[in-house]
A and B are shown apart, each in its own frame.
Chain A
Amino acid sequence: MSTLAKTYRVNRYTLLEMMAVIVLAGVLMNMALLFYYKSQKINSRYTDKAFQIKSVSAVSKYLRSFVHGNGAAFMVKPDQVVFKNGSVIAMNNNRLVFTAGETDKSFALPKGFAVTFALEENQGEPPRIIMNIAMLNSKDQLQLNKFTRIAACVEGGTQ
């Protein structure tokens, strides 16, 4: 017998052993994939979360100064706010656009987030524009339990 044949014989496995090894390899590969998927998901969510916190911080300051500077709101819809002087705040392709006269300023929102507007009024208080930055679910619907609320008081009331 040659050396090669001997070596071949040494490495021979039974069918049962081979099947066990295949199953174990399958389990390990599935676990590795699961770990990778979960880690990626957490990583992606944290990136979005960091972006959201940064966006909220930047947008809240700008929104308030914009609302205070433009006076009374003429119309408040869930996707846009129109002021009496013609200035507009609106959502455009995942961007929050502030238009005042000829100038536009836009903020990119984190992926999977959207903005809604509302007007709130209480007796004895000036009306306020509420902007909710909310997460979208897999069907692109707003998740109403996951939002950040920003209030900006309107100076001069509404029409």
Chain B
Amino acid sequence: MKIKRQLNIRYYLMPEMIFALGLLMILTACFFATTSTIQRMDKSFTGESCGLMVVDNTLERLEHRKQYNIDDVKRIFLDEYDKSGINDRTKMTAGFTPDADGAVLAIIRNNGKPLIEVRIKCQH
């Protein structure tokens, strides 16, 4: 009888098994959700790094011109944006806004906020 009782103690109930399996599934789902978030962050960081280089390369090209007007600034900025390949990798866009003294170059994140903004003085 004693042996039988001890054996009975080792059994698991069906709800316990379901709970254990559910917990395992939740843990697995959490792991893959975290992995997916990290991958999205990775893409975003790569895009940000490229976005900064777009503006940096634009400034390098403008610096080596004797003179430039607003059309040159726009053409060079958009050319750098296209060639950086950022458009294929992220949803970041190039923003070019003319203002009174020149223009504002910006790389806009997909939430509409600018990643970087640079104001350039130039002739219209």
Supposing A10-B7, A38-B35, A42-B38 touch, asked if A151 and B49 sit within 8 A by C-beta, the answer is: no
| Given A42-B38, A151-B57: 15 more A-B contacts, CB < 8 Å | A10-B3, A38-B35, A42-B35, A46-B42, A49-B46, A125-B61, A125-B65, A128-B61, A145-B88, A148-B50, A149-B50, A149-B57, A150-B53, A153-B61, A153-B64
A-B contacts, CB under 8 A, total: 64
Shortest CB distance B71–A (Å): 11
Category for how many chain B residues contact A? 20 to 34
**Which residues of chain A come closer than 8 Å to B42, judged between CB atoms?**
45-46, 49
User: Contact string, A128-156, partner B, CB cutoff 8 A, digits 1/0?
Assistant: 10000000000000000111111111010
State whether the Cβ of B101 lies closer than 8 Å to any Cβ in chain A.
no
Compute how far the CA of A128 lies from the CA of B6 in the bound complex, rounded to whole angstroms. 82
Interface residues of B (CB under 8 A from A): 3, 6-7, 28, 31, 35, 38-39, 42, 45-46, 49-50, 53, 56-57, 60-61, 63-65, 72, 76, 80, 83-85, 88-89
Supposing A38-B35, A49-B42, A56-B49 touch, asked if A145 and B61 sit within 8 A by C-beta, the answer is: no
- Output the residue of B57, B65, B80 with the most chain A CB within 10 A: B57
Compute how far the CA of A16 lies from the CA of B60 in the bound complex, rounded to whole angstroms. 72
Whether B38 pairs with A56 at a CB distance below 8 angstroms is: no
Category for how many chain A residues contact B? 20 to 34
**Which residues of chain B come closer than 8 Å to A9, judged between CB atoms?**
3
Shortest CB distance A36–B (Å): 11
Whether B35 pairs with A145 at a CB distance below 8 angstroms is: no
